[in-house]
Structure 1
């Protein structure tokens, strides 16, 4: 089935548009209820205090914030139930003052009782049900884990208790209005139940706050910035609401802290990157701590100076002066402590430089991580020759590159992520980064020199092996045949002299010549074998290793050992790499045959982005190996070509492993497993 569509629009609006329109209509309903309630109260001559005492102002403000924030969330994230829960919350808060003023406007006692009942029972659903559920589902509309579904079920099941407590109290909404239908005659006798209901409300708010803490601990940096908005608003709201619930005489206006929650949720879900929450938290914590200090000092000074100054200049004036004098120097220090907790040590460049210096010995990754940690940056990365050699943190949406110069040459780039809510790096950040850029540039330069030295060393070893290969070929193909011909000639001369029955001395000389020539041939062959094992050229690396494994299958005492060679087909390897791999493998196998009490050994060659050689045996564990000449020689051969080497005992037997990086030209050759 298809939906008719023309160029001007579709016959049916898309689902996203329908949900957005529905959210706007619900928000408009809330606004209309609030306008009617406030307009009636003003026209009826209600003063500000009467509007506050009748909860018209508090409910109206909460209704507007919840509904508008819910509409914004539902418009941008229609699949997220939090927006719809906020809309329902706003409707509940708006219905309370709306039904209240309608009850005043009608003369029918039946209608008044119905409207009073609705007025009393509407807003408790908002506080006891919709708000806790929204907090529990924040920010993605899903529970943090399936185990938390019991918390959600508990909130839903116990929410009618709060409604019954608020609607059944027996106190009229107004002296001019009758009681509602849910009024409980023996309400005071159920006081333990109502106390438990208040505790339930506190738990219903504390559980989502705990859940937010769990989400914060598991989230990445971007998720933590998002959650921090709601955590801050929830803590502030709890601090204000708790006295109102348990302490009689607490002003009703403390409920105006509740609208902070929907505002924080809307910002966190829709535009949490718009403002730097850490800046907000920094200032809020500073003034909160300062306020506590001021209250404490004020109370102490009131008690101390009451009898001394009251009769002279008035208590409040004196105390205010003293408090101001004491608080003035405290604020900068307090702000510094809070900023350090949120922005790191950017106001202490020497401390940052010291931390970076401590990490220089650990390598570039440790330096980059210390820079990001010291400044509380979302991301820091080091790029050298177009390649990211070290990074820490999650990739930020905005990254500022800083050049690292050494000797007038740019040796790398330090890329740092901009904090959320900031358009760029502050002057304090740039000062600190400029200070640490100097040792970091030196470290990058030293690392490049070390890499170049290693590459030069590898080229030197490769050139040496290539030269050895050439010498072997020349000796084998040039000097070898020549000396062999000399030996043949000497044999022929000896035969002729023997037939002619000439001097015995000539025969002896020729025999000596023949012996010397054969000795020279043996020496040449020994030199050739030392330069490069001939089996490598005759059989290749894998064939040479298999030949050597067959030769080692019998120990000197006559006992047998099974040596298995498992290898992948190898590309054409450089001469130096072939020799190093062959020497390490044969030396390791020789150690197994001589020293390990093993019945079998396995030689494995793997070739991917690097050449890996592994020799394992099933001998009994022998504890840590003592490095000898053989192990040192194998380790040096691996280091010469930039490889790694490890050897030691394992619970399964002995193990020797060497890894060699392959040249780029070699990596381009496809490999096939035999």
Structure 2
């Protein structure tokens, strides 16, 4: 590093010394020779014979005007290089930047070529020029990380240097690319410039941090503007060379434009290296694109108008043609600028400056019939495309089905979250990835997003309602299917009981009765025994019929009502367990029933469901909880037409995924199904202080 720092200082000071020594020599040559005849040290052709005298310009004034351009250009580059060397003496890129700026600043202009009359200074000049170009290529291929990324960029950099630097050391020979063809020179220039910009774009998208991205924006901006100016003005000169050669004013203006455009490299490079907190360059890039394209359009329209009307006037440049061309430019300027500004804004930021058109397009697309999910996808895609974002996602909570996620684009690690709010309630979440990693949304982005989401919230809420209705319909259909299956299963069981058990018994009773009738006169004693056996069978059959009826609807509900039936069931269930637990210790469980003495008349299905849920819950407490106290609450809210049942105990709590069965074959899932079949709700949870709480709510409207 120390050796390279010393080498940089030596090359920079040598270049500055050559440049300073060349200034008076260049002025003398330009005044005495090059203003009157072509010179090898000055590439600008001399003015036509007699032009200086006709325009009252002395050779000294002519020489001084050009020397001012070149001297200002050179010293700006030298000062920029010296400042970077002073601020960044221990960084490779800083030293490369110093060598590049000081070498290019002193060799890009024709001032130092005035010393070529001294052969011993020729090779130092060419070496400095070659080193400056090599430093330029290496700097931009390695900026801002100081590494070649991707790896092939190192090959490209040294290939560009290898093609051009030998020609700088030996100009006019077979090693010089300009020796072969001027067109080949332009192809080479365009090729390495495109490669350089492509490398920076690749790094910008994949490798750089936010500050490095901002630095790259400044450097690439300066490089693109400068090289575009150099290439554009050079092409203009080649196309209209005869016009420039005949008018020295135009030639001088061309030199000013070329060197001014190249000064942008030094300014932007110095800002990117030295300034820690860079200004946002996006507005500057926006204005540069707008006014650059607008200027090209204005100049093109003006030139075409002048040419067209001059042709109409028999090839004469008449004042009428100038007036008409100026009028055309003035009329088209404002609308072209407005449309161009909108196009550039849309290219860089999306459609944030015109939310109304985005909403209109979205509304037209929504006129077409489409599924709810596609509507959400359309909203997400519209927001993503309107802001030119790489990724957008909408998270929508849909009942008990979890979260529905609609995505568009490639998922990004860094996303900003926004709530989609409708009538004060958040109905969804919107995840948006910024245009680049580490970037944030601007104030105009947020304003546009707020406007768009305010309108999109209504659409999202409508889709959410539609999806909830669809989900409810699916649940209802599923419940209907379960009810039908349960009903058919119950019918099958009844049919089996009647056909396989009760029917044969009744048939047997008929045969037994017939036998007793035949033996009544011949063998009364046997007939009497048959009738006694018949009486026992009839009693057993009646008991089974009662059991069958009890399974359809507990008789206690008709005899005692819901509260009385639950109270009786509590006594029946707890009595066997009050003596001992499984370990043989006294249980001492106390069950408290908190309910009104009488309830209003309830639908039969509600009574059965409430009774089944209550008895199963109590059985679970007795058998599995290990509790000492259980509190059963039954309430009927006639205004809300709802019967609520609550069972709380102080036992061990509910184990995960518990779903035990009881004597009636009804587990936790069965209790939930009974409640949901009637349009009610069921919930069971473990309490923080210990124990379990079961809650069921059943609608009582018919």
Match of 1:140 in 2: 145
Match of 2:76 in 1: 61
Compared CA separation, residues 525 and 21, structure 1 to 2 (3 A): farther
Give the Å deviation of 1:195.
7.2
Give me the whole-angstrom Cα distance separating, in 2, the residues matched to 1:417 and 1:451.
28
Give the Å deviation of 1:396.
7.7
Match of 1:85 in 2: 96
Give me the whole-angstrom Cα distance separating, in 2, the residues matched to 1:452 and 1:221.
47
TM-score (normalised: structure 2): 0.49
Report if the CA contact (8 A) 1:62-1:259 is conserved.
yes
Match of 1:121 in 2: 127
Report if the CA contact (8 A) 1:27-1:87 is conserved.
no
Give the Å deviation of 1:50.
3.9
Match of 1:304 in 2: 308
The reply to whether residue 331 of structure 1 matches residue 346 of structure 2 is no
Give the Å deviation of 1:299.
1.9
Compared CA separation, residues 347 and 194, structure 1 to 2 (3 A): closer
1:362-402 Cα deviation digits (max 9, x unpaired): 465763453243134688787999x99889886889x7978
The reply to whether residue 131 of structure 1 matches residue 136 of structure 2 is yes
Compared CA separation, residues 221 and 308, structure 1 to 2 (3 A): farther
Report if the CA contact (8 A) 2:417-2:429 is conserved.
no
Structure number with bigger Rg: 2
Match of 1:371 in 2: 383
Report if the CA contact (8 A) 2:355-2:451 is conserved.
no
Q: Describe the SS at the equivalent of 1:404.
A: strand
Match of 1:49 in 2: 65
**Structure 1: gaps of 5 or more residues:** 1-14, 170-183, 469-499, 538-569, 578-582, 584-636, 642-661, 667-674
Picking from 263, 284, 289, the partner of 1:285 is: 289
Give the Å deviation of 1:339.
2.1
Give me the whole-angstrom Cα distance separating, in 1, the residues matched to 2:214 and 2:101.
26
1:513-568 Cα deviation digits (max 9, x unpaired): 4356568779999999xx99x9xx9xxxxxxxxxxxxxxxxxxxxxxxxxxxxxxx
Report if the CA contact (8 A) 1:356-1:370 is conserved.
yes
Q: Describe the SS at the equivalent of 1:258.
A: helix
Give me the whole-angstrom Cα distance separating, in 2, the residues matched to 1:305 and 1:383.
63
Compared CA separation, residues 571 and 67, structure 1 to 2 (3 A): farther
Q: Describe the SS at the equivalent of 2:421.
A: strand
Match of 2:540 in 1: 514
Q: How many residues align?
A: 467
Give the Å deviation of 1:298.
1.7
Report if the CA contact (8 A) 1:418-1:424 is conserved.
no
Give me the whole-angstrom Cα distance separating, in 1, the residues matched to 2:209 and 2:548.
72
Give the Å deviation of 1:87.
1.8
Compared CA separation, residues 506 and 343, structure 1 to 2 (3 A): same
Picking from 408, 426, 434, the partner of 2:451 is: 434
Within 5 Å, which residues of 2 pair with 1:187-226? 191-192=179-180, 199-215=187-203
Compared CA separation, residues 204 and 343, structure 1 to 2 (3 A): closer
Give me the whole-angstrom Cα distance separating, in 2, the residues matched to 1:291 and 1:370.
33
Report if the CA contact (8 A) 1:41-1:51 is conserved.
no
Q: Describe the SS at the equivalent of 1:346.
A: coil
Match of 2:228 in 1: 239
Give the Å deviation of 1:51.
1.6
Give me the whole-angstrom Cα distance separating, in 2, the residues matched to 1:303 and 1:29.
51
**Structure 2: gaps of 5 or more residues:** 29-59, 246-250, 367-371, 398-402, 487-524, 555-611, 621-653, 662-666, 668-672, 678-682, 688-702
Give me the whole-angstrom Cα distance separating, in 2, the residues matched to 1:383 and 1:289.
42
Match of 1:425 in 2: 443
TM-score (normalised: structure 1): 0.51
Report if the CA contact (8 A) 1:216-1:227 is conserved.
yes
Within 5 Å, which residues of 2 pair with 1:373-392? 373-376=385-388
Give the Å deviation of 1:239.
2.9
Q: Describe the SS at the equivalent of 2:443.
A: coil
Match of 2:657 in 1: 573
Give the Å deviation of 1:573.
0.8
Give me the whole-angstrom Cα distance separating, in 1, the residues matched to 2:377 and 2:66.
65
Within 5 Å, which residues of 2 pair with 1:639-650? none
Give me the whole-angstrom Cα distance separating, in 2, the residues matched to 1:97 and 1:281.
26
Give me the whole-angstrom Cα distance separating, in 2, the residues matched to 1:19 and 1:188.
31
Compared CA separation, residues 429 and 524, structure 1 to 2 (3 A): same
1:601-651 Cα deviation digits (max 9, x unpaired): xxxxxxxxxxxxxxxxxxxxxxxxxxxxxxxxxxxx9xx99xxxxxxxxxx
Give the Å deviation of 1:122.
1.6
Q: Describe the SS at the equivalent of 1:135.
A: helix
Compared CA separation, residues 576 and 437, structure 1 to 2 (3 A): farther
Give the Å deviation of 1:89.
0.4
Give the Å deviation of 1:190.
8.7
Compared CA separation, residues 225 and 526, structure 1 to 2 (3 A): farther
Compared CA separation, residues 67 and 197, structure 1 to 2 (3 A): farther
Report if the CA contact (8 A) 1:62-1:93 is conserved.
yes
Give me the whole-angstrom Cα distance separating, in 1, the residues matched to 2:339 and 2:102.
46
Q: Describe the SS at the equivalent of 1:93.
A: helix
Picking from 353, 357, 375, the partner of 1:351 is: 357
1:424-476 Cα deviation digits (max 9, x unpaired): 524x9636633541341562486489679979999999xx99xx9xxxxxxxx
Give me the whole-angstrom Cα distance separating, in 2, the residues matched to 1:26 and 1:664.
82
Match of 1:160 in 2: 165
Report if the CA contact (8 A) 1:221-1:378 is conserved.
no
Give me the whole-angstrom Cα distance separating, in 2, the residues matched to 1:409 and 1:192.
73
RMSD, aligned CA = 6.3
Give the Å deviation of 1:352.
1.9
Compared CA separation, residues 220 and 145, structure 1 to 2 (3 A): closer
Q: Describe the SS at the equivalent of 2:98.
A: helix
Compared CA separation, residues 278 and 264, structure 1 to 2 (3 A): same
Within 5 Å, which residues of 2 pair with 1:464-503? 503=529
Give the Å deviation of 1:130.
2.0
Report if the CA contact (8 A) 2:418-2:430 is conserved.
yes
